[in-house]
Structure 1
């Protein structure tokens, strides 16, 4: 399996990570109750400016009222996301979230491996009451969807952290970490306890901080706002560019240690997060405000290149395509996992590709971060090019990661419709009903010299009886004789021709059409040779391409038919 330098500890399955013995967490983020970077460690100031050592960052997610609050009493943390509701509205000021963010680090655990550690922070509008917050980390993409309901659903081992920070000079935060289980649960239905700080609390950087989880708030006024190199924030007190006491909260969860303590050996792929305010620390508490976004610990992207490469016999187009799937997360994805691609061409039948990672080009040994897997194919379309929407996902048992939908515009096949027209004619005298009459014999040859089929209408400037209509195939091109049909060979111009010099049609049809006829002119010839002149016109359209001027003009050169010297009439 291919592993990045960062992921020497990745396990051969489902974008998971090997866990090691519990060690004290050596933080890489300042957990000091403010957002300003003050030491060699990272803090939210540089994390949110993308200049940190974090492996995953969410950036600052703003949530200004009256946006997205929980709705209906049934929206509980003990219920699946499919039963959560939201709407725009107001909540008590102390529960009003203004900004939130999260990051992930891999930290040397001193036992030959790395621990996966999450850091998270939230800011509220007012501090007139205890702060009780929840932090969800989901494997599915969870967030507001249509009809005031959430999208996504819980997967086994989604993580949930409850943090309660009572007000008071000697207060300490209570922290509880749980995992979602599809059945059962030690705390309540669907929630299984991984860690609880107990009455002694788990304030970051104190004796109560076991290294698994902790929380901290600002116990004094701290700098805020863009003038201090941070991000927009306002508080209820109206004091500019500061966090009032107990307005900013941050915490840490050593995911590896939390799972290890519960005997769970594999960490799942997380892809989104959500921060919530709650009425109490009870698992069934009423939910208030929320914000969230992507948390791409594991994520994929899909893109597509495509183009028309040839015409088919029924005037459709073959579209060749290449699907490119990129592992945009920071975890390797196992070769046995299943990738599904749903492709919906604008003018062709939708199709699906479902196969293991190992079956894609480059996927035999797994799917490393930033690695691109490819898949080539073709389909038949009614249009020359067209657009496609492509969706992709990778599944890990019941869980899955979904890529953002990609829209591709396929290149069209460059077609150049062309034709040639040539007319031959002769004049003669013949006896008709006891009189000598002038007779004109002619042949008109129209050939398709382009690379698209044509529907031709042939007329003559003098002969009203010349009203021919026919279709023409276009010449088959070749590189070797093997490219040609029976009886044809590849000539120096790379066309298939037979011994008589006739070109082979690309789909077996005629490349040229010869129209013959005769009539008695109503006009006498003139000049010393006794000539009559006329012009044939071929107008063409194509079922597969705009023919442009071919649809309105295609005249032959003027054909001069000489009477002298006399020639015998042709039968």
Structure 2
């Protein structure tokens, strides 16, 4: 790909789209059409000679959508509908009514087109339509709505699919109306903008022929229109006669400076003229989300909090402005909710992760990205964190969501030590043996234990848990935090002794050895599954004679 050629083409287009909106007559025909280069070829046909490389043309959709901000592409009029008399552009959308059925061939559109591009910070929108037939002078209008608008064929009205209520205009909706003759010349371009509840006329723009045959533009190349001046074969429409295919392009940023250009819906209309009170006939409507966020998120880590038996999870990710205009007030939230004060915005590294360099979320240019990091708490070891990124478009907001699973497995552990010694004490006028033992219990795990106890049982067979022996002794330890150590001690009077071979030595006291075992157990918190955690048993041997 010749990237220098593309870069030069973009620069030529940007420099060309700088003139004043109030130019109403053509003073000098432009030598070239700036909105034609670098993005989508506006030349009165649909062929894309560049193939996969920019610039695009309509026949390359949807294959080359990666070159666009948002490509609606070609929308077929599969269920034709006609506006009823009285449905005017000067009225709010909620008052428009339509009936199913086709218009007369001259005003019956078969397909509509729309694609948006971002170039050097400018939003370029290309659009068009092909019609059933052509004769005389024709008029087409192209609406770009900021609020979502869809058809409701059951009632012949338009609704907002988000609210379910009748569709309404938003300040900043744009209508571009063209008139052109059966010779193919674009004669009139009118620009309208919905403001303060009414359709505001932004003026007529004079257009004239350019160096590209059949293409008409204003001197500053902010708006262009073209028709086919010869028979044209369109893959999705067949052979069309001169004038049946129309395409246009506008630089919204230069044409209406300061406008919020986050459109969501496109509508092509056939009309009786370019005047604002013209009767509108056939229409084609489609989703056209020019402004769009994309958020991606992953779990950066999970840390068990032993003090509260909760997990502190950290999510990180990237928010990208995939749309054609700058958005402001970027924010991010999560469910479970981020802990207040833990969310930060940063620049992104090459892998899309946050760096340590802060970045302001006040605004995000088209194509720009900002990374974030935030933490939330959970009372389960595995949680699904859902992140929602939002930004203001001026008239509303756009959002996107993504989810990531955080999980951790905190280790549990309990250890006990034991030592013992032999005493001879007087009891009931006899000298008897007393075994004293002591040790410590340590919580070697990452979470606290409750109701910890030491189990002691004398002369326990190998492999037998002293806590399971009937009549064993229990010493209460209480709660034991992660890493905590507590001492224990007790004593007992043995009723038998063993020798080195494990045989009873009551008759051979000088070889007597007293053995017993201890183990510890405690209750685990619910977050790790509850139940009892038990230590390995520890045995101590105390010889009677040392």
TM bin, normalised by shorter chain, reads 0.5 to 0.7
1:303-361 deviation per Cα after TM superposition (whole angstroms, max 9, x unaligned) = 44443346262223333444543344455x5xxx842424133376689979999xx92
Structural mapping, 1:358-507, within 5 Å: 361-363=358-360, 367-384=364-381, 386-395=383-392, 398-400=394-396, 402-409=398-405, 411-413=406-408, 415-434=410-429, 438-455=433-450, 456-460=452-456, 461=466, 462=469, 463-466=471-474, 468=476, 470-475=478-483
Question: Which blocks of at least 5 consecutive residues in structure 1 are unaligned?
Answer: 12-16, 108-113, 226-232, 236-240, 260-264, 476-510, 566-571
What residue in structure 1 maps to residue 262 of structure 2?
Answer: 270
- One of 545, 555, 561 as aligned partner of 2:536: 555
- One of 519, 527, 542 as aligned partner of 2:492: 519
Structure 2 vs 1, CA of residues 172 and 315 (structure 1 numbering), >3 Å: closer, same or farther?
same
Q: Does 1:536 align with 2:518?
A: yes
Structure 2 vs 1, CA of residues 159 and 294 (structure 1 numbering), >3 Å: closer, same or farther?
same
Could you tell me how far apart the structure 1 residues matched to 2:45 and 2:215 are?
20
Q: Contact conserved, 1:137 with 1:270, CA < 8 A, in 2?
A: no
What residue in structure 2 maps to residue 45 of structure 1?
Answer: 59
1:276 aligns to what SS in structure 2? strand
1:468-517 deviation per Cα after TM superposition (whole angstroms, max 9, x unaligned) = 35322234xxxxxxxxxxxxxxxxxxxxxxxxxxxxxxxxxxx1122222
Q: Does 1:182 align with 2:195?
A: yes
Q: Contact conserved, 2:269 with 2:280, CA < 8 A, in 1?
A: no
Cα root mean square deviation, aligned: 5.2
Q: Contact conserved, 1:307 with 1:385, CA < 8 A, in 2?
A: no
- One of 206, 223, 233 as aligned partner of 1:223: 233
Q: Contact conserved, 2:519 with 2:538, CA < 8 A, in 1?
A: no
What residue in structure 1 maps to residue 113 of structure 2?
Answer: 100
- One of 319, 334, 342 as aligned partner of 1:344: 334
Structure 2 vs 1, CA of residues 75 and 561 (structure 1 numbering), >3 Å: closer, same or farther?
farther
1:466 aligns to what SS in structure 2? strand
Bigger strand fraction: 2
Structure 2 vs 1, CA of residues 207 and 135 (structure 1 numbering), >3 Å: closer, same or farther?
closer
Q: Contact conserved, 1:78 with 1:283, CA < 8 A, in 2?
A: no
1:386 aligns to what SS in structure 2? strand
Q: TM-score, normalised by structure 2?
A: 0.66
Question: Which blocks of at least 5 consecutive residues in structure 2 are unaligned?
Answer: 1-6, 151-159, 348-356, 457-465, 499-503
What residue in structure 1 maps to residue 248 of structure 2?
Answer: 251
What residue in structure 2 maps to residue 121 of structure 1?
Answer: 128
Q: TM-score, normalised by structure 1?
A: 0.64
1:535 aligns to what SS in structure 2? strand
What residue in structure 2 maps to residue 301 of structure 1?
Answer: 294
Post-superposition offset of 1:274:
0.6
What residue in structure 2 maps to residue 160 of structure 1?
Answer: 175
Structure 2 vs 1, CA of residues 51 and 288 (structure 1 numbering), >3 Å: closer, same or farther?
closer
1:405 aligns to what SS in structure 2? strand
Could you tell me how far apart the structure 1 residues matched to 2:384 and 2:416 are?
37
